[in-house]
């Protein structure tokens, strides 16, 4: 089966993805991803969607002591790096794919979406991706999200413009601007975020929601 252009693009940048992000953002992206991990209870089932090269996965396994992790990424090269980084930990089920890789039987106590929602248009988030992620989350489960906030200064707007140009050309993402992912998740969960923290002059935000019982 031929890989999608998006998968091929992320395969190309997989070896340099982490160094490149640190060059631009320092440690802000890593700090944002790890900021609320201590809210996840021990022995939880966790879904990491768009986990990248595995840095976050290693932190989840060591800090959260989960019983199971479903780890999904569209790029085979990212999955390979993640397997290597955690020594193919038996608690992790690696899946190469998109949101269609999430099955009706997948039920988790926490969903993690690290710097992935910004790659989609608002229509794709509202009508496709977010409902699938939400359905997989158990009642009282946590949804942790680290991503970019709307830029407020010229230098922040310049960074985001360059970033979208880069990923649209190389990885063929559909989004050409930052979606209002915080509002979309809040409307879906029907609750305000539990807490939020900002990094990198407010351009990066880390927040989480709790799914209420129906």
Low-confidence spans in the chain with pLDDT less than 50: 1-2
Quote the radius of gyration of the chain (alpha carbons, Å). Answer: 16
- What's the DSSP call for residue 13? H
The token duo for 28 is: 């802000």
Per-residue confidence (pLDDT) for residue 179, from 0 to 100: 98
Q: How many CA atoms lie within 13 A of 168 on its CB side?
A: 14
The reported pLDDT for the residue numbered 7 is 64
Sheet strand arrangement including 195-199 = 92-96, 68-73, 45-49, 108-114, 137-148, 204-210, 195-199
At 214 the pLDDT is 66
**pLDDT on residue 12:** 79
- Walk me through the domains of the chain, giving residue ranges and CATH numbers: 5-210 (3.40.50.150)
pLDDT of residue 2: 45
The whole-model pTM stands at: 0.94
């Amino acid at each position: 089966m031929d890989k999608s252009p998006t998968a091929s693009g992320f395969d190309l940048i997989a070896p340099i993805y982490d160094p490149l992000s640190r060059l631009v953002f320092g440690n802000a992206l890593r700090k944002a991803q790890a900021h609320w991990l201590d809210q996840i209870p021990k022995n939880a089932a966790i879904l990491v969607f768009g986990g990248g090269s595995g840095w976050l996965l290693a932190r989840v396994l060591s800090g959260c002591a989960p019983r199971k992790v479903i780890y999904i990424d569209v790029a085979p090269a990212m999955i390979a790096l993640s397997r290597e980084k955690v020594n193919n930990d038996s608690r992790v089920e690696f899946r190469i794919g998109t949101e269609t890789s999430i099955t009706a039987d997948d039920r988790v106590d926490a969903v993690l979406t690290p710097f992935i929602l910004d790659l989609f248009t608002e229509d794709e988030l509202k009508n496709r991706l977010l409902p699938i992620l939400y359905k997989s989350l158990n009642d009282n489960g946590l949804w942790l999200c680290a991503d970019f906030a709307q830029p407020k200064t010229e230098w922040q707007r310049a960074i985001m413009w360059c970033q979208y140009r880069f990923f649209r050309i190389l990885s063929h993402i559909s989004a050409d601007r930052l979606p209002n992912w915080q509002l979309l998740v809040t409307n879906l969960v029907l609750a305000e975020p539990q807490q939020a923290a900002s990094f990198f002059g407010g351009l990066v935000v880390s927040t989480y929601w709790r799914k209420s019982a129906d």
